[in-house]
Amino acid sequence: MTALTILVAALWRLGREDEARAVTARIIHGHGKFSVARWSRGFPYRRSEDLADLMDPLIAAGLPE
């Protein structure tokens, strides 16, 4: 799961939004109860801004908050 979410964030940041949305659809299809907030709890970032840089593209690509 982590690899796919990182892929979504990377694709989104690279401007490859259609591809990011396609991977997002795969995540939602395979893990219907996925949420960005729950997923992000496993990342020990010191600064909330750094975690937001990872989470923002996931939400923009359509993953549930």
Task: Report the candidate in 61, 56, 65, 64 with the shortest Cα–Cα distance to residue 19.
Answer: 61
pLDDT at 23: 98
Give per-residue pLDDT as tens, 6-61: 999 999 999 999 999 999 999 999 998 999 999 999 888 899 999 999 999 999 99
Q: For residues 6 and 56, is the Cβ–Cβ distance under 8 A?
A: no
**Cα 14 to the chain's mean position, in Å?**
14
pLDDT at residue number 42: 86
Is 90 exceeded by the pLDDT of residue 1? Answer: no
- Looking at residue 56, its pLDDT comes to 97
Stated pTM of the model:
0.90
